[in-house]
Structure formats: structure tokens, C-alpha cells
Copies of this chain bind each other. A is one copy, B any other.
Amino acid sequence: MTGLMRSWIESANAPDTDFPLNNLPYGVIDVNGSAHCATAIGDQVLDLHALESGGWLDFGGALQTGAMNTFMALGPDAWEKLRVTLFGLLAEGAQARSGLEKHLSPLKDAKMRMPFAVTEYTDFYASKQHATNVGTMFRGAENALPPNWLHIPIGYNGRASSVVVSGTPVVRPSGQLKGPDDDAPRFGPSRRFDIELEMGAIVGRPSNGPIGVGEAFENIFGYVLLNDWSARDIQAWEYQPLGPFQAKATATTISPWIVTAAALEPFRTSTPPREVPLLPYLHEPGPMLYDIDLEVGLTPDGGSETILSRTNYREMYYSAAQQLAHHTSSGCPMRVGDLLGSGTISGEAKDSRGSLLELSWGGKEPVEVDGGTRSFVEDGDTLTLRGHAAGDGYRIGFGECRAQVLPART
């Protein structure tokens, strides 16, 4: 495993920064009302739009677009070229320091926009412990895991228009609700509004037919943290027979920085042993999961934060590469900017579960937070996801994926 790459920006050399020179994640910042592609380095943001317009970089204008899609579409050679160029500009001892300083600004003041335009959004269901927990609650322990689960990276199409960047408030949804003893449904605010701690993989290279797992891995540009907000009561009534729809369409919050597959390369790890053999089209030619520590915290309005759960991305049974390969198996075309949610990530320990549904076991065991307890999310609560891969003396972090829940519309 490589060590810290030192930068002339001193804050990037701190062992606890999310953004050492090794990381160089991509995001979009607001500069006087216009959207600029940028990278984070230590406690600073570097304006890549300004760097390209100033002649420091040349990607045919792809960094002067207000979203990372155009740059991603340039392909892996461009991805590598930008990363190497930025290493050269930002490494300790680089000559460029004086010219670059005017394009730096404090990260804490940055107003982040969506880092890319989400072309389509797919959400998977690939943590075995999560599927087992949810299945046990809904169908009993003996039928917990659906019969197809160990064979297929189960997924469904989500709603790209609902994906928002960290910091965007989320309004509690209303919808059709029907309890098991109710004669008919009623329409009202969800009472079981929940989080789902996930990772999102971003497709950076298009495909137009079935692709293998190895090619799928190469086509993923990078990753974000992802909170798939879920109205459990709307879902329970609507989801048979065609799956979740309005329960999942209110909002999906992503972290503002795309951490590249290149930055995560030293943290590759294997999916767990297969319990039944996978069909050949899902075989991984190498380790394609990542060792990324994850946590989710809940902060009541005016209160202090409680960490609800700590888990790790390596808990997934299927990697994003396997999910993407399966996604193309019927010939489904994939495009630059497609976002693939991993599915809720839950470990075996109770405090490593990735949703309140699981943490409170359907509301039967409320969890303690500052000033009270929670079965599900309450109005005013702020939910924050964090994640990082831990290297030797440095870490590759994702920043925060955060949103406050506002009361339902009246």
C-alpha cells in the first residue's frame, strides 16, 4: 500500500484529512452563481474550471461545463492525465505554487453543487445482512432471503430526478398509507421515514450491450456516499407486485465529491466467499470491492450527534462491477453519469446496520439519541453519512453526505 503523497498545501498532509494529495476527488462548486468543476485538497478547494481557462490544464473545455459528465466522457486516458497533472501541480516542491494559489479557496466556505448530472439511477440490494434483516421482519427468519438473492445482484430502477447533493433539505413525503387492519388507504405524511446507508458507483464509460465484470469495473469512474431516503409505510402498501416506487422517489442524497476508482485502488478487497456458485457472467477477475469504513450519525434539531451505525463497504455480497455487468446482461445500454446505489450496507453487529428499520427492528427497539429515542427519522433531524478508506498515515475520505428532514407539506 502506498503512503501519503505530500503536498505543498500543508493541510493535505494531516493524517486525518479526507483529502490528501492521494485523493483528488472531483466536485462542482458555486463561484458567484456559476458552477465550476473543482477538486478538494486538504482544507482547500482548487477551481479546475479556472485552471483550464487559465491554460494550466487542457481538456478541450470539459472542465468548464459545470458538471463532471463531459470530462468523464473523455475516457480513462483523460482521467489518468488529469490526475497525473494535478499531482505535478500540487506535490511538495512543485514549481506551480505561486500561480495556483489564487485558484484555491477554503473548503469550509465552498457551496457545493451536484458533482455530475445523474443520467439514470439504479438501486441494488446487495448486502446479505440487510436483505436478511429486512426479510426476517417481513417474511420470517426461514424465508428471509429471497430464492434468487444468492444468484442475482437484485436491483430496481430508481428516479434520477430525485438525486440531490449533500446539504439539500429533504421534505418528509406524503403518500398512500394503509395499515394491516385498515379497511382502505388514506393519504398523509409518512410516519416511517428512513435512511439507507449506501455507496454510489458512477458510470464513466458508456456501453451498448452485455459487458463482463472486468470491463464493468473499468467503466466505473468513481464513488460517492449515498443516502437512499425511504418511506417504509408507503413502500409496504405500494410495492407488490412491481417494486418500490413513490417510497423511494422523494430524495436520494449523495456526497458532493466523487472519489475516483484510481484513488481507491490501494483499498481493493474481495467479495466474501460465495455460498452458492455464481453463473460465469458474474465472476470477478480480481478484487473489485473496497475496504471503506462508513458511519451514519443523527443530530436532532438543536441537539448533538449520535453515531447510529458503523459498518464497511466490504460487507457487500456483490461488487458494483458485478452489479453493472448484470445491469447490462439483457442488452441494457449504460451511459456516462449513470448512478448505481449499492443497496443498504449492514454488518452482522446490531450497531452496524445501515437503516433505522433494522436498527430499531421495525420500531420495536427504538434507538437512543440525544434527548430521546428514534424508531424512524423525525422532523428537524439531520442525518450525516461519512466514509473513508484508511491508508498508512493518510486516508481517502468522502466528506459528508448530510441532509436535514423538513416537515411534510401541508
Contacts and interface: CB of A to CB of B under 8 A. Distances in A.
A81 B246 CA distance: 35
B245 A157 contact: yes
A281 interface: yes
Interface string A53-76: 000000000000000000000000
Nearest to A118: B120
Contacts of A158: 157
Interface in A245-276: 245-247, 249-251, 276
A159 B120 contact: yes
Nearest to A236: B148
A155 B176 CA distance: 14
B176 A247 contact: no
A249 B174 contact: no
A176 B153 CA distance: 11
A246 B282 CA distance: 15
A82 interface: no
Interface residues of A, number: 60
A350 interface: no
A120 to B, nearest CB: 6
A354 interface: no
B160 A330 contact: no
Task: Give how many copies assemble into the complex.
Answer: 2
B120 A329 contact: no
A85 interface: no
A331 B251 contact: yes
B240 A176 contact: no
A151 B176 contact: yes
Contacts of A84: none
Contact of A159 (B157, B159, B176, B242): B157
B241 A146 contact: yes
A156 B242 contact: yes
A185 interface: yes
Interface stretch (A104-112, A297-305, A332-340, A377-385): A332-340
Nearest to A170: B331
Contact of A332 (B154, B161, B243): B161
A97 interface: no
Given A155-B245, A279-B176, A148 B240 contact: yes
A210 B176 contact: no
A330 B240 contact: no
Nearest to A183: B276
A238 to B, nearest CB: 6
A157 B154 contact: no
Contacts of A197: none
A141 interface: no
A344 to B, nearest CB: 12
Given A120-B161, A237-B148, A241-B239, A332 B210 contact: no
B151 A330 contact: no
A333 B173 CA distance: 12
13 contacts: A120-B159, A151-B176, A151-B178, A152-B237, A152-B238, A154-B242, A156-B157, A162-B333, A171-B331, A173-B329, A174-B330, A239-B243, A249-B331
Return the 9 tightest CB-CB contacts between A and B, nearest first.
Answer: A243-B243, A249-B332, A157-B157, A173-B330, A246-B330, A156-B242, A161-B333, A242-B243, A250-B330
Given A156-B242, A234-B330, 15 more contacts: A148-B240, A154-B245, A157-B157, A159-B332, A161-B335, A161-B338, A162-B332, A173-B330, A187-B279, A187-B329, A241-B243, A242-B244, A249-B327, A249-B332, A250-B332
